[in-house]
Structure 1
Amino acid sequence: MNRISIFAAALLTSAIAFAAQAAEVRNIVIVHGALADGSSWRKATEILTRRGYNVTIVQQPITSLADDVAATNRVLDLQTGPTLLVGHSYGGMVISEAGDRPDVAGLVYVAAFQPNKGESLIGLASSKPAGGMNIRETKDGEYLYLDPAAFPADFAADLPKDEAAFLARSQVFAAKKAFTEKASEPAWKVKKSWAVVATRDRSINPDLERDMAGRAGSDVTEIEASHAVFASEPEKVADVIDAAAKELSK
């Protein structure tokens, strides 16, 4: 490719990115965290849908970071117009990778990891341990899960007992590989971002959430809630996502 072609391609990419930022953002794509699935986002999704947004939830396999980014890209490919990408917990690792697409207008991290280049989930989590330490290995040593007996206290302490128990029973096991893979250059370095800090989180240390959001320059909202803040405080989380979409649409 000659210099003129390279310059033209760069101009086209910049124009697409600018259009994604400038157009009204009506698409919201949510990437759930590990040890849960997308159905736990139902309440927040219904609130956002009533507000006129087109909401889609990625049901990624949590087999590797690359697999989960690919699953997210397949959902993003179905959107028409710019998209606001939302990630919870491990989902923050995924949106940091997938969010560099020109059709992604911005990023919202909900009690989520916001990695820098070269960081892994396990490395970040170990740097400031959380209150809950009840992760277990499957017999084959390949996957991780949260002890169902500890799940309500560690993941969803502010949900009704029956809801927390159901989340424990339906949790999606996470491949060790997904937790140990290192991130590439994160999209938050070039995209506007927002972060929800769950102040009673026992799965990710709230101070770690604050530190990661601070270095990313994210607009931060603190909510007194557990790691399952999206389910226990769906209106407040929806408000953050709604405000982000509106700001990107200006």
Structure 2
Amino acid sequence: MVAISGTAAHAETKPAKDIVIVHGALVDGSGWRAVHDILTGHGFHVTVVQEPLTGLAEDVEATKRVIDQQTGPVVLVGHSYGGSVITDAGADPKVSALVYVAALQPDAGETSGQLLSKFAAPNDAMRATATPKKFFFIPAARFAQTYAADLPAADAQFMADSEQQLAEKALGERVSVASWRTKPSYAIVTSQDHVVSPELQRWMYQRSGAKVTEVAASHAVFASQPAAVASVIEAAAK
């Protein structure tokens, strides 16, 4: 870890035991196993949302269904495009805090695509390809270098082989509410990211006043440095 900053200055709530994780585009929830195991080992109840990635509205709805199943205060965690999902779904009164992991953090009325175009990813590495039916993906030959450069080759290859395509329309749908404006937010900046620009991450998290932890990691920080990610989630739960 490099640095921690920000205040996350909001009204205090009682500690949360329920953690809901929203994965990002191009992957599924299986990559969060190590974070899940750390948190459950520390007494948390963890649920991982499996989004369809067919549109922001559908992904928010899938997340809300999981939040509805929780019994107490919820820490809602989003990675990458999942940050847009939790920004909207986080308005649920059960949600006590938000954690953005190399994640988009739009304001109300903004789209994921607008934010991604604000700062280019390093070396323009994130050149996702669109299928004829307008779903985005990273070609397998470029996946490891672009998304998961700090993972063992076999793990990065598995991510490439199990890649989930993202509907183009998801990037153009506007977030209806910015829940980070009324709830504490925590954020992890991944300084070696080739998908979501570290400069964009810093800009978004400074705008929101999130409490920031910077990690020298790729976009796949949840798999390459799960202890660092779990530590931030636990801080948000307190």
CA RMSD, Structure 1 to Structure 2 (Å): 1.0
- Take 1:194 and 1:22, find their aligned partners in 2: how far apart are those partners? 15
- Take 2:13 and 2:203, find their aligned partners in 1: how far apart are those partners? 29
**67, 70, 78: which is aligned to 2:61?**
70
Q: Which has the larger radius of gyration?
A: 1
**How far did 1:139 drift?**
2.7
**How far did 1:244 drift?**
1.2
One-letter amino acid matched to 1:47: I
- Take 1:139 and 1:68, find their aligned partners in 2: how far apart are those partners? 22
| Partner residue in 2 for 1:93 | 84
More helix by share: 1
**How far did 1:123 drift?**
1.2
- Take 1:117 and 1:96, find their aligned partners in 2: how far apart are those partners? 9
| Partner residue in 2 for 1:50 | 41
SS of match in other structure, 1:112: coil
Answer yes or no: is the 8 Å Cα contact 1:44–1:234 preserved in 2: yes
| Partner residue in 2 for 1:60 | 51
- Please list every run of at least 4 consecutive aligned residues from structure 1 whose deviation after the TM superposition is greater than 6 angstroms: none
Answer yes or no: is the 8 Å Cα contact 1:134–1:150 preserved in 2: no
**3, 15, 22: which is aligned to 2:13?**
22
Structure with the bigger RCO (C-alpha within 8 Å, sep 6+) is 2
The unaligned stretches of length 5 or more in structure 1 are: 1-17
- Take 1:91 and 1:224, find their aligned partners in 2: how far apart are those partners? 20
| Partner residue in 2 for 1:193 | 185
Give percent identity, aligned residues only.
50
- Take 1:168 and 1:121, find their aligned partners in 2: how far apart are those partners? 22
**How far did 1:183 drift?**
1.4
**How far did 1:134 drift?**
2.5
One-letter amino acid matched to 1:34: A
Answer yes or no: is the 8 Å Cα contact 2:91–2:177 preserved in 1: no
The unaligned stretches of length 5 or more in structure 2 are: 1-10
**110, 126, 139: which is aligned to 2:132?**
139
| Partner residue in 2 for 1:218 | 210
TM-score (norm 1): 0.88
Q: How many residues align?
A: 226
1:84 aligns with 2:90: no
